[in-house]
Amino acid sequence: MKKLPEKLLGYTKYKEIKHGVKQLVYESSNAEDFENRWAKFIEKYDLELNEWLYTLYEERRRWVPCYLKCHFWAGMSTTQRSEGMNAFFDGFMNSTTTLQQFVAQYDNALRSKAEKECEADFASTNTTLPSGSQSFIERQFQDEYTHAKFGEVQNELRCKMNCNIKSVEVHGCKAKYIVKEALIWKDQSADKFNEVIFDLMTKDIECTCRLFEFRGVLCRHNLIVLA
Ligand SMILES: [Zn+2]
């Protein structure tokens, strides 16, 4: 295995690498784009034979958001990604971090995030937040989710009242709903439309807002269709 550069990176270099990883992970629009960007990144920093990065690449379908579009991904929304990613790295790195340390610290950062989630799980299993409605859907999330996540579910349930179903079309076993959401934008009313597809056979449901894929929470548009 080829060694990573040993000498300390300057602040500019560190910023450059951090920015590069962030872009790779969160800005790639599809698999091909990610693979091209990754190849260039690896070549630029001479990391072809780094085992750890190679493993990460091999596992890309399990952690890079662009591969996970159609699966559950309890991550951050598009607008929060950049801020979140900075916060994610900043506690672990400083201007004298070497590239080798960077790789190790990235691993630590992920581990610490997982540990925090375990703690949140533990705190949540020992207390219960009150349920705001008589909804069975809400009850299920109350049992399964941490307090923070359950709070997000409750917000979606509240916002459901601003939504209504404008149309339904059934093609085979798929029902397509157009859900109108009444919003207020700069003191003006502004309607937003989302498309929800409900599979009558498998009971799978998806919405164009992709809230579930990004945050693991059923959106208000799905909820109005299911209710
Ligand atoms: Zn939605």
* Side-chain half-sphere exposure of 63, counting CA atoms within 13 A: 9
- What distance in angstroms lies between residue 195's CA and the mean position of ligand 1's atoms? 8
**In this predicted structure, which of 9-13, 50-54, 159-163, 193-197 has the lowest mean pLDDT?**
9-13
User: Tell me: the pLDDT tens digits for 5-31?
Assistant: 434 445 565 567 667 777 787 777 778
- What distance in angstroms lies between residue 209's CA and the mean position of ligand 1's atoms? 4
pLDDT reported for residue 77: 47
How many other C-beta atoms can be found within 10 angstroms of the C-beta atom of residue 153?
Answer: 22
Domain locations in the chain?
11-120, 161-226
Say yes or no to pLDDT of 172 above 60: yes
Angle between helices 78-90 and 11-27 (to 10 degrees): 140
**Highest mean pLDDT pick, 5-9, 38-42, 90-94:** 38-42
| CA-to-CA separations, 108 to 3, 91, 93, 111, 118, in angstroms, rounded | 20, 11, 11, 5, 15
pLDDT reported for residue 196: 95
The one-letter amino acid at 56: L
- What distance in angstroms lies between residue 46's CA and the mean position of ligand 1's atoms? 42
Q: How far, in Å, CA of 66 to CA of 225, rounded?
A: 27
pLDDT reported for residue 69: 53
